[in-house]
Amino acid sequence: MTALSDTQKFLEAEISRLRGLLQRAGLDADGEPFPRDHEPQAVLDDQERLSRLAQGAGGIGVFSLDLTTRLMAVTPAYCRLFGLAPVAVLPAELIDTLVVPEAPSMPSSLERRAGSRGGLVAEFQIRQPRTGALRWIARRAEYVRDAEGRPVRLVGIAEDITERRRIEDALRDANERMQLALNSDVVIGTWVWDIPNDRLIADARFARFLGLDVEEAARGLPLEVVVRAIHPEDRARVEAMIAKTVRLGSPYRAEYRLRHADGGYRWLEASGHCELSSEGRPRRFPGVMIDIHERKGGELRLAALVEVGDRLRDLETTFDIASTAMDVVGPLMGCVRAAYGTIDASRRVIEVQRDWVARPDVVSMAGRHSFDDHGVHLEHLQRGETVVIPDVEKDPRTARLAANFLALEVRSLINVPLMEHGRLVAVLLLHDPRVRDWSEDEIDFLRNIADRIWATSERFRVLAELREANEELERRVAQRTRERDRVWKISQELLGVMDARARLLSVNPAWSAVLGWREDELVGATPALLEAEGGPSMRAELEQLTASDSTRRFETSLRHKNGSVRHLSWTVVLVAEEGLVYGVGRDITEQRLIEEELRQSQKMEAVGKLTGGVAHDFNNLLQVISGNLQLLQRDVTDNERALRRVRNAIGSVNRGAKLASQLLAFARRQPLQPLVLDLGRLVRGMDDLLRRSLGDDVQVEAIIAGGLWNTFADPNQLENVILNLAINARDAMGGSGTLTLEVDNALLDDDYARLHPEVAPGAYVMLAVSDTGSGMSPEVMERAFEPFFTTKPEGRGTGLGLSMVYGFVKQSGGHVELRSELGRGTTFKLYLPRTHQAETQLPEVLSGPVEGGTETILVVEDDVEVRATAVDILTELGYRVLKAVDGQSALSLLRRGAAVDLLFTDVVMPGPVRSPELARQAQALLPDLEVLFTSGYTENAIVHGGRLDPGVHLLGKPYRSEELARKVRQLLDQRAQRRMAQTPPTPEPAREPDAKRRLRVLLVEDDEDIRASAYELLGMLGHDVVAVSSAEEASEVLTVDSFELLFTDVTLPGRSGVEFAREAVRLKPGLRVLIASGHGSAALSAEDTLRLGAVVLPKPYALFQLQKALEQVSASL
């Protein structure tokens, strides 16, 4: 402001000399005079002098306003003040338009006092037109008058006083804030310094801040007491400011750090003034101190962030980056130590390369340190939590090891974690020797610093990696270019480029491999020329490509050069800016064939499920009819007419049973009893049967290859398949022709399996049945294996023969292949899996008269009529028959002690107990019991993989009474022979236990039936039993009652029985343990056997086995 004021004074002194000159001359944009022709040399000299004067005025603008023309001659500086481009002349009204309307005075007011004497002054605010900036302008001027004293011109200067106005406003605001501060908590205290006597009198707040005696401060202290409390870095500056204020008697304002009573330094603002005596001597110095620690800290922290950012910008190593940041952070935060360390969380250590310390005698933390030596807050850091500890002696995380911290001059600390992808990678540490409450602003600042350190380290790491990546990219680009060329050449997919008219511009070699056309034959042509008739149009698809819909996927059929058709799937992309279409075509011919095979297979599977269900219900109906007809047949033996009708009805039932059997065979639900076969031997053995069945006009030829492998199949069903195919062949040949049966080994490879998805690659035995008949059309071939589909006249066939063939082969794990052509005959190829087992001798067929017996048979059947029929048949054969409607009622009978020799049960029954489970539990109760299943539809209960489970006997529905009688007798005879052949050890008879061995038993079993059975057996052996269903119930009983033995199942609801036994023994140390398990002794480890003294009772167990286990337990008591 001093230089500006000097210029103003100089210009005001020159105004009088300018009056005459400005009356005769104006100024141009550069301070040059307006050009006038024939101007006298004196005028030119005055104009030159004015130009020099204007240029020396710096930022002050000079103007001359002609009051007649209202035009102003201005200097460039004047234009700049108003934000205008430099011009020589301005209309006065232009300046008025720039003035802010709310301004207190207008520039035009300068000329409203044209008749007045002396200088004119105005201050106003303008808005610069180009930038919109608001500026304050001060303008001073005087009138230039003519000879008569009339004002003709206004000459003056203008200057920018924005800064002055800002200072004035700030001073006013500061005064207001000072007044408010005096009444607020931010005021530290007030003082009055008696300068002549050097006594500084302070209020109580001032004294408490410095830790001084309040009364002593009220009486007055030497100024030096306060000066010594100023931070050493600020002390000289503050002393100089005080000396200047005292010397000049000027206002005093200073910001510095003053030592608080707790030993720490706080920022404050001291304001006051020095009062002088009338002689000009310093007399009195009153003042006030305001706490600005938070604000100043924020400013310094912000400045520190900027400084850290600037200093870290060019550093590249983590060591340099961390060291530089700590050099800034440590002094700013007023701590004793600042460090940055990287974390090895697996070893719970931190490594510090270099730290900042406040004094040379402070111990450095550089090196590796264990978190375990300094508290247990590593887990907090690993969760991304900032660890703030105001006092290590009081915080539970560090109190135990506080001595370690105090040895390093650490009373309070803050640890800021650095996380990367949820993993702790580094920590910023600050230590303070005093108890310290860290503010949120300080914590945020340290987090920001830590982030910057990590970000800078990462940035340079990434830049280094980026440089390496760029170099690698250049290498890879060259490599990818070569690879792209190779991919173009070796790709199995058709790659091509077409122009806007869909003409091929380039093609890869795959076009020739897939379609047979040479490259020169394809380039220039359109793919549409190769389209097969009736297929989708490739041209139509390409025409739909647009800039907004630039990608299309479609399928077409193209002609191979040899005339065959190939199916292709295309993806084409239009690149509009290039006017080119890029296409990729994949040969899906094989895929379409496979999909067709799969659709056919799924269709057959769905139909099979339907027909299987129908056959089940049909067989139950046939069983009732058949059984009653056979019983009725015995009652009408003396009525020939009725007997003939019954026999006709039985014949119809047999045909229905055959139909149901064919349905089940197609549905793959026919229970098979496969044997290891020599297929060649079986075919040779059928020679006479085939010749008799086909007639003399059909020639039968059998071609059996040498070294034939064995296969695993049901011989009876396989003979039916061959006979069925032979009869179909005879009908197709019109009763005469040649039937060829060929048997050979076959290997189906991966290529074959790829075309037939249901086929597993491997070794097979192949049976081909070929005829010289009329053949089949493609439409007939597609439906040949569907049930009830036939081309024979009505009444000549059921349409189930080929479906039965298909179902049997699939159920046997094989594959059927059909080849036929109209007029060229038909060949069925049956592939059955090879087996390495030796051939099985076929079982003998029972013959002779039907025999009954006196044994007891339990019939379990939910269908009332079927059950009644079976009971009648068996009763007539002399057997004692019991009956039950489901598995649960059957088990109830057996548990009540019913003596049964054979269980005859339906496979499919309602209720919770299924037939296999019924058989298992029944044989557990009666180990010598025989079981015969019956069903018209076995599902998966006793048949797996299409084959009966080992040891399972099945009588299919509908059955004849003779079949039932023979099967029952066969099983009961086998039972008798087994009893005679075996000499099982005679179990010791159950004896009444000795009174000392009468045990109190806690039985734990969740299965209701097993629990009831075990309860009954234990009671029979004379023991006292309490039975519960869960470990929870057992625990409650143990707390209120005493037992010698815990008898528990190895698996209980929701937990292990062994685990519960361990708890029970801990609760009752003398308790013995008996564990029932279906896994045998493997259910219990050697350690548990030893520790629990436990005995394992394998399931299923008989009475004597239970008794033996109990005796073993009793011996240990």
CATH code of the domain containing 566? 3.30.450.20
CATH code of the domain containing 955? 3.40.50.2300
Say whether pLDDT at 168 is over 90: no
- Do both 145 and 194 map to the same domain? no
Residue 1072 confidence (pLDDT): 87
Of 464, 479, 502, which marks where a domain is finished?
A: 464
Alpha-carbon distances of 789 from 374, 667, 793, 818, 861, rounded to whole Å? 87, 15, 11, 16, 35
For the record, the structure tokens of 161 come out as 């006083």
Is residue 302 domain-resident? no
C-alpha dihedral sign at 728, 732, 735, 740: negative
Is the pTM for the entire model greater than 0.75?
no
Is residue 479 domain-resident? no
DSSP conformation class of 28: -
Is residue 342 domain-resident? yes
Residue predicted with more confidence, 477 or 762:
762
Worst-scoring range by mean pLDDT, 89-98, 617-626, 759-768? 617-626
Say whether pLDDT at 471 is over 90: no
- Do both 272 and 220 map to the same domain? yes
- Do both 65 and 130 map to the same domain? yes
pLDDT tens-digit profile of 239-255?
A: 999 999 999 888 999 99
Residue predicted with more confidence, 982 or 626:
626
User: pLDDT band at 320, cuts 50/70/90?
Assistant: confident
pLDDT tens-digit profile of 266-312?
A: 899 999 999 988 888 899 999 999 988 888 878 888 887 888 777 77
For the record, the structure tokens of 876 come out as 């007539």
Residue 614 confidence (pLDDT): 60
- Do both 669 and 789 map to the same domain? yes
Greatest alpha-carbon span in the chain? 173
- Do both 709 and 830 map to the same domain? yes
Residue predicted with more confidence, 456 or 775:
775
Residue 8 confidence (pLDDT): 42
Contacts of 622 (CB under 8 A, 6+ apart): 653, 656, 657, 660, 936, 957, 958
- Give one DSSP letter per residue of 990-1049, joined into a string: P-PPPGGG--EEEEE-SSHHHHHHHHHHHHHTT-EEEEESSHHHHHHHHHH---SEEEEE
Residue predicted with more confidence, 417 or 792:
417
| Residues 341-363, mean pLDDT to the nearest whole number | 86
Residue 193 confidence (pLDDT): 94
Residue type present at position 146: D
- Do both 1057 and 921 map to the same domain? no
- Give one DSSP letter per residue of 912-970, joined into a string: SS-HHHHHHHHHHHSTT-EEEEEES--TTTSEETTEEPTT--EEESS--HHHHHHHHHH
Q: Based on the structure, what is the number of domains in the chain?
A: 7
Residue 408 confidence (pLDDT): 87
Domain range for 347 is: 317-329+338-464
Query: CA 1060 to CA 703: how far, in whole Å?
Result: 69
pLDDT tens-digit profile of 508-546?
A: 998 888 888 898 888 888 877 778 776 677 777 777 887
Of 953, 981, 1009, which marks where a domain is finished?
A: 981
Give percent of the chain above pLDDT 90: 20
pLDDT tens-digit profile of 595-618?
A: 766 676 666 566 655 555 565 566
Worst-scoring range by mean pLDDT, 44-53, 326-335, 535-544? 44-53
Average pLDDT, the chain: 80
- Do both 779 and 896 map to the same domain? no
Of 566, 769, 811, 541, the closest CA to residue 666 belongs to 811
Worst-scoring range by mean pLDDT, 16-25, 359-368, 643-652, 894-903? 16-25
Q: Which of 191-200, 633-642, 959-968 has the highest mean pLDDT?
A: 191-200
Worst-scoring range by mean pLDDT, 456-460, 893-897, 1088-1092? 1088-1092
For the record, the structure tokens of 1113 come out as 């337990």
Query: CA 739 to CA 828: how far, in whole Å?
Result: 11
Q: Locate tokens 């911290």: which residue?
A: 405
Is residue 628 domain-resident? yes
- Do both 653 and 791 map to the same domain? yes
Say whether pLDDT at 22 is over 60: no
Residue 852 confidence (pLDDT): 83
Is residue 627 domain-resident? yes
Is residue 736 domain-resident? yes
- Do both 10 and 123 map to the same domain? yes
User: pLDDT band at 556, cuts 50/70/90?
Assistant: confident
- Packing angle of the helix pair 887-895, 915-925 (nearest 10 deg): 10
pLDDT tens-digit profile of 636-663?
A: 778 887 777 777 777 777 666 656 655 5
Residue 5 confidence (pLDDT): 43
Worst-scoring range by mean pLDDT, 149-158, 425-434, 632-641? 632-641
Say whether pLDDT at 10 is over 50: no
- Do both 22 and 153 map to the same domain? yes
Query: CA 1018 to CA 1007: how far, in whole Å?
Result: 16
Say whether pLDDT at 619 is over 80: no
Interstrand relation of 856-860 and 880-884 (parallel, antiparallel or unpaired): parallel
Alpha-carbon distances of 267 from 188, 223, 441, 733, rounded to whole Å? 11, 19, 15, 117
For the record, the structure tokens of 978 come out as 């087994």
Say whether pLDDT at 317 is over 60: yes
Residue predicted with more confidence, 966 or 904:
904
Contacts of 544 (CB under 8 A, 6+ apart): 552
Q: Using DSSP, state whether 376 is helix, strand or coil.
A: coil
Is residue 484 domain-resident? no
CATH code of the domain containing 459? 3.30.450.40
Residue 610 confidence (pLDDT): 58
Query: CA 95 to CA 107: how far, in whole Å?
Result: 8
Residue 708 confidence (pLDDT): 93
User: pLDDT band at 411, cuts 50/70/90?
Assistant: very high
Of 981, 1005, 1032, which marks where a domain is finished?
A: 981
- Do both 67 and 190 map to the same domain? no
Q: What region, left, alpha or beta, does residue 143 occupy, with left being phi > 0 and alpha being psi -120 to 50 degrees? A: beta
Residue 249 confidence (pLDDT): 86
For the record, the structure tokens of 658 come out as 């055959």
Residue 347 confidence (pLDDT): 73
- Do both 932 and 963 map to the same domain? yes
Residue predicted with more confidence, 880 or 994:
880
Contacts of 917 (CB under 8 A, 6+ apart): 887
Residue predicted with more confidence, 1078 or 279:
279
Query: CA 994 to CA 670: how far, in whole Å?
Result: 57
pLDDT tens-digit profile of 54-64?
A: 554 557 899 99
Say whether pLDDT at 112 is over 50: no
Is residue 577 domain-resident? yes
